[in-house]
A and B are shown apart, each in its own frame.
Chain A
């Protein structure tokens, strides 16, 4: 079996725990807007590539990188420039 990018593609469900750790919300049910094409999606529907270097979540409509998350040296690095907006629903707040 050959493994290429398609096989490695996951979705927002796979990084629910990591995103919850950073944001304190279950982002898979929260809505966000793509700064590229304007599509709105729950983050569970985003396409995700989880590599050793970190996690990239992309718009399922146009492929734009919406969110990049990397951890290292006791810090989280977030690049959210592809996200026009993000709505955090109180119902999705996680408890400690």
Chain B
């Protein structure tokens, strides 16, 4: 599934998620759906004709002509300061997609699922959780989400709500830089011990999706394989140096 042509999307809503992340709800005429985990390419054109393209994961489950992205502002970025700082409701931007069918989960693929996110790497995993909820799927899911601080956690309230539904989702945070007073959770980067405590046993044959900064993704994928998980059931998506927790 996917479309190649660039088309104009209109910003329907801008919502601040964290000090560095905004959600952008876009209306895309003719959008015919996407799979949870896919992304779009966004293209900006300057007045002098210079163009910059970036890939952004879709955060929303398929829902008519509306597509939601979550964009983290990178201070030295070419595109994200505009998307996460200046874009307003009613503005237009060019996008193409959905693209990328590799890092995708749909309810019929089953589980159990282990989702590991670093920073804004939670975005495509959120699409999977929203898809799962919309489909009333009871596939068991464990989300391990590494962020710098609790304030940097994207979708925190919604994740709490999904977890409270009691249909088989557990959410575990690892706060790497600062923790609120009395924090009883993990206060370090994701490591093998944590993956063993939070994740499934290799014999339970989980499907693992790991997304975030490149270093986190490669470390986690390496740990999972070393713990005995089937490499073909560990899918990764590297976001590069962005949002290092």
Chain A contacts to B: CB under 8 angstroms: 1, 3, 6-14, 16-17, 20-21, 24, 26, 28-29, 42-45, 92, 94-96
Q: Which of B16-24, B97-105, B154-162, B200-208 contacts A (4 or more CB under 8 A)?
A: B97-105
Query: Could you name 26 residue pairs across A and B whose Cβ atoms are closer than 8 Å?
Result: A8-B241, A9-B218, A9-B240, A10-B238, A10-B240, A13-B39, A13-B55, A13-B102, A13-B103, A13-B237, A13-B238, A14-B55, A14-B240, A16-B55, A16-B101, A17-B96, A20-B2, A20-B4, A26-B1, A26-B2, A26-B99, A28-B103, A29-B102, A44-B103, A95-B3, A96-B5
Cβ A16 vs Cβ B214 within 8 A: no
Cβ B101 vs Cβ A7 within 8 A: no
- Residues of B near A8 (CB, < 8 A) are 214, 240-241
Q: A44-B102, A95-B3 are in contact. Are A7 and B237 (CB under 8 A)?
A: no
Q: Helix, strand, loop or mixed for chain B's interface?
A: mixed
Expressed in whole angstroms, the Cα–Cα distance for A4 and B68 within the complex equals 31
Interface flag for B233 (CB, 8 Å) = no
Interface flag for B213 (CB, 8 Å) = yes
Cβ A42 vs Cβ B2 within 8 A: no
Cβ A7 vs Cβ B240 within 8 A: yes
Q: How far, in Å, is A74 (CB) from chain B's closest CB?
A: 14
- Residues of B near A92 (CB, < 8 A) are 101
Expressed in whole angstroms, the Cα–Cα distance for A69 and B188 within the complex equals 39
Q: Which of A9, A12, A96 contacts B102 (CB 8 A)?
A: A12
Cβ A7 vs Cβ B213 within 8 A: yes
Task: Mark contacts of B41-75 with chain A using CB atoms, 8 A cut-off: 1 yes-contact digit, 0 otherwise.
Answer: 10000000000010100000000000000000000
Q: Which of A1, A44, A95 contacts B100 (CB 8 A)?
A: A44
Expressed in whole angstroms, the Cα–Cα distance for A20 and B103 within the complex equals 16
Expressed in whole angstroms, the Cα–Cα distance for A16 and B98 within the complex equals 10
Q: How far, in Å, is A58 (CB) from chain B's closest CB?
A: 13
Cβ A26 vs Cβ B101 within 8 A: yes
- Residues of B near A9 (CB, < 8 A) are 214, 218, 238, 240
Cβ B215 vs Cβ A26 within 8 A: no
Interface centre among B4, B99, B237 (most CB of A within 10 A): B99
Q: How far, in Å, is B56 (CB) from chain A's closest CB?
A: 11
Expressed in whole angstroms, the Cα–Cα distance for A96 and B102 within the complex equals 20
Cβ B238 vs Cβ A16 within 8 A: no
Cβ B240 vs Cβ A42 within 8 A: no
Q: How far, in Å, is B91 (CB) from chain A's closest CB?
A: 21
Name the 6 nearest CB pairs between A and B, nearest first. A44-B102, A7-B241, A16-B100, A28-B102, A17-B41, A16-B99
